[in-house]
Amino acid sequence: MVTFTINGKEVQGQKDWTILDVARWEGIPIPTLCHHPAVEPYGACRLCVVEVDEGRRTRIVISCMYPVKEGIKVRTDTPRVQNVRRWIMQLLLDESPASSYLKELAKSFDVKPSRFQKAGVSFACHLCGLCVRACQEVVGIQALTFSNRGLKKEIASPLQMGSKDCISCGNCLYVCPSLGMEQLYARMRA
């Protein structure tokens, strides 16, 4: 077992656990968007940032991918952490203004859509990739994928066509935190 502290409280986790695993185990809240226990961590949203003091320096890390280490001091709610989370939330919201899930989440960070929000977006997806990973890792097929790059990046069926691989299991709908997957699913089945 690895022993360290979160917000001054001594905690323990197994060697292959992440900071987020231990925080969840201890009931310490850390916001997440792209994390789901059924799939491998992916580090897409960065909302789960925390501050880690490893003796020589203190830095901001993403807790869903950062492995626990003996003696580190983790803080989940410092002004620096809150500030970084607000910035990330602002970027996510401006990237995906159609996501009512993100809009609700943003309220808890006191973040509102800015004048830089992407225009003309009606798709509620915020590219957390949970649907793609659930399809690949849980179901074992590739009916979904990331398509394009940068501002044009989106979730789609391969070659943007109705997917023959899809077995209509609904796993993607189940893990999707927004309504984006419902919209895409309807497109795929059309």
Residue positions counted in the chain: 190
- As a whole number of angstroms, the distance between CA 46 and CA 85 comes to 8
Using CB under 6 A, which of 19, 47, 61, 127 touches ligand FES?
47
Using CB under 6 A, which of 6, 11, 19, 48 touches ligand FES?
48
Using CB under 6 A, which of 22, 34, 131, 135 touches ligand FES?
34
The amino acid occupying position 51 is: E
**CA neighbours closer than 13 Å in the CB half-sphere of residue 43:** 7
Residues touching ligand FES, count (CB under 6 A): 12
By CB under 6 A, is residue 46 in contact with ligand FES?
A: yes
- As a whole number of angstroms, the distance between CA 176 and CA 130 comes to 6
CA–CA distances in Å: residue 127 to residues 1, 21, 74, 151 = 35, 22, 28, 11
Between CA 61 and CA 55, with CA 11 as vertex, the angle to 5 degrees is: 50
**CB nearer ligand FES, residue 45 or residue 144:** 45
By CB under 6 A, is residue 61 in contact with ligand FES?
A: no
Using CB under 6 A, which of 21, 23, 28, 32 touches ligand FES?
32
Contact 89, 109 (CB under 8 A): yes
- Of 46-54, 96-104, 117-125, 157-165, which segment contacts ligand FES by CB under 6 A? 46-54
By CB under 6 A, is residue 35 in contact with ligand FES?
A: yes
Q: Token pair for residue 127?
A: 């590219």
By CB under 6 A, is residue 45 in contact with ligand FES?
A: yes
**CB nearer ligand FES, residue 23 or residue 166:** 23
- As a whole number of angstroms, the distance between CA 42 and CA 167 comes to 24
Using CB under 6 A, which residues numbered 102 to 161 contact ligand FES?
Answer: none
Hey, which residues does 102 pair with through a beta bridge?
none
**CB nearer ligand FES, residue 50 or residue 156:** 50
By CB under 6 A, is residue 76 in contact with ligand FES?
A: no
Using CB under 6 A, which of 12, 43, 160, 187 touches ligand FES?
43
Q: Token pair for residue 58?
A: 């203190």
Contacts with ligand FES by CB under 6 A lie at 32-35, 43-48, 62, 64
